[in-house]
Amino acid sequence: MSTDSRRAESPEFFDRIQRVTLPDRVRELVDEYDRVCGERDRFLWRWIYSLFPEFTLSSVDSHHAEHVRTQKMVLTMYVTVLDDLVENHGDRETFEEARRLVQAPSTVDPERATVDEAYFTFIERLWAEFTVGLEDAPRREEFEDVFAYDSKQTLNAMDYSAVVNENPRIANLNGAERYDAHNMVMFPYADVDLMYSPTFDLADYGTLRDILWDLQEMARIGNWLTTWEREVREDDFTAGIVVLALQEGIVTPDELSGTPEQKEAVIDRIKDQRIEQVFRDRWADRYRAVRDRKAEADSVDLDALVSGMETVFEYHVESRGFK
């Protein structure tokens, strides 16, 4: 479905997002993204930027709130570019080099990359912008080791998706839930928040991360529900909706790799089987379970964090066909 037709269906939501003003630092990066990559419409960047306050930890110092929001926007761009590098370009070599920026920065050698120099230079700039932006974080040293670990899990999620797309017969829902959910970046986002949370009590750390596992799965479901059709057309078969259809024998790997007409038939068949409703119900069950758990933390408002995920889900639903 085209952006214009989706705009006709949700004009108020589309116009609200289009009115979002990105900060100068982000806008410069988006301008460069358009010149170098240009695969994503600006709607995506405005959409996620407008959504960050809904799931930012209440413990973030208000004086740092806008900077934290920008930092997470830059991190999102880095993750998105790498994700597209793997899924849309199939360039595992450049992806492996780009992930060294996180895992082993001293070993980075752009000459090993196979995409053009401008593309890799932009990836390096995104990561440099993000890391420099953390230098003023009051608690950076306390949380940077966990952030590094969580960021590696996000990169592993991309790697897992690449393996599944190359070998669709290994697709299974447990793997999608355990690996692919890390692509939502919920843990790294929270780590950035904590670096700017002077009053956060480490006694609440385990409780917070326990909640994040559920919230990350909820975010992943929202994303799956609203992007799986586009991804099938782009030869990306890792969305939970598609994985379940494969697992249940509703579609076959050969059909997913077929002609555009075959793919449209596959999409229609998946819709007819109401697999989306399975995941909508799963999201609702997870949400109720998290609300009923009543986890307690004195230094961060977990109820507000969980409530924010309802808005995240609504944003996903409204943005279907836009991103």
Cα–Cα distance measured from residue 171 to residue 236, given in angstroms and rounded to the nearest whole number? 12
pTM above 0.85, yes or no: yes
What pLDDT, on the 0 to 100 scale, is given for residue 193? 98
- Residue 132: CB atoms within 10 Å: 10
What pLDDT, on the 0 to 100 scale, is given for residue 103? 86
In CATH, the number for domain 3-318 is 1.10.600
What pLDDT, on the 0 to 100 scale, is given for residue 10? 67
Give the 3-state secondary structure of the chain. CCHHHHHHHCHHHHHHHHCCCCCHHHHHHHHHHHHHCCCCCHHHHHHHHHHHHHHCCCCCCHHHHHHHHHHHHHHHHHHHHHHHHHHCCCCHHHHHHHHHHHHCHHHCCHHHCCCCHHHHHHHHHHHHHHHHHCCCCCCHHHHHHHHHHHHHHHHHHHHHHHHHHHCHHHCCHHHHHHCHHHHHCHHHHHHHHHHCCCCCCHHHHHHHHHHHHHHHHHHHHHHHHHHHHHHHHCCCCCCHHHHHHHHCCCCCHHHHCCCHHHHHHHHHHHHHCCHHHHHHHHHHHHHHHHHHHCCCCCCCCHHHHHHHHHHHHHHHHHCCCCC
**Long-range own/partner contacts, residues 263-272 (CB < 8 A, 24 or more apart):** 263/232, 263/233, 266/232, 267/229, 267/232, 267/233, 269/245, 270/228, 270/241, 270/242, 270/245
**Tokens representing 206?**
């385990």
- Residue 251: CB atoms within 10 Å: 24
Contact predicate 158/81, CB 8 Å? no
Cα–Cα distance measured from residue 260 to residue 211, given in angstroms and rounded to the nearest whole number? 40
Closest CA to 200 of 118, 301, 79: 301
Tokens 């990350």, residue?
Answer: 216
Cα–Cα distance measured from residue 190 to residue 188, given in angstroms and rounded to the nearest whole number? 5
73 CB burial (10 A radius; 0-12, 13-18, 19+) = buried
Ramachandran region, residue 38 (left: φ > 0; alpha: ψ -120 to 50; beta: rest): left
Tens place of pLDDT for every residue, the chain, 323 residues?
A: 444 545 545 678 889 999 999 999 999 999 999 999 998 999 999 999 999 999 999 999 999 999 999 999 999 999 999 999 888 888 888 888 899 998 888 899 888 878 778 889 999 999 999 999 999 999 999 999 999 999 999 999 999 999 998 998 999 999 999 999 999 999 999 999 999 999 999 999 999 999 999 999 999 999 999 999 999 998 899 999 999 999 999 999 999 988 999 999 999 999 999 999 999 999 999 999 999 988 899 999 999 999 999 999 999 999 887 77
What pLDDT, on the 0 to 100 scale, is given for residue 8? 43
